Homo-oligomer: A and B are copies of this chain.
Amino acid sequence: PGWSLGSDPDHLVRTFKFGDFAAAQDFAVRVGGVCEAEGHHADINYGWGYCTVKFWTHKIRGLHENDFVMAAKVNGLADT
């Protein structure tokens, strides 16, 4: 939940909000840690108060079940 579908290529995207820059960066790094652990890498965009995460599967330039699994894992980070 909370993710949108984007296109060109098809991807999952969600923006998380934070109270400052440091919290957004900390979240980005935690997302990056999950990406490294799973061997499936997001596109991460952050700045003051926000972090936007995108997942897609480069090999097929589109969405694969793994992208949905990753999105769920990132939601789990946001809840903690």
Mask: chain A, 57-68; 1 = CB below 8 Å from B; 0 = not: 000000000000
Contact indicator A44/B43 (Cβ below 8 Å):
no
- Decide yes or no whether A22 CB sits under 8 A from chain B: yes
Most buried by B among A32, A35, A42: A32
A21, chain B: closest CB distance, angstroms: 5
Contact indicator A45/B44 (Cβ below 8 Å):
yes
- Decide yes or no whether A70 CB sits under 8 A from chain B: no
Smallest CB gap from A32: residue in B: B25
> With A21-B35, A29-B25 as given contacts, are A44 and B47 in contact (CB-CB < 8 Å)?
yes
Q: Which of chain B's residues have a CB closer than 8 A to the CB of A22?
A: 32, 36
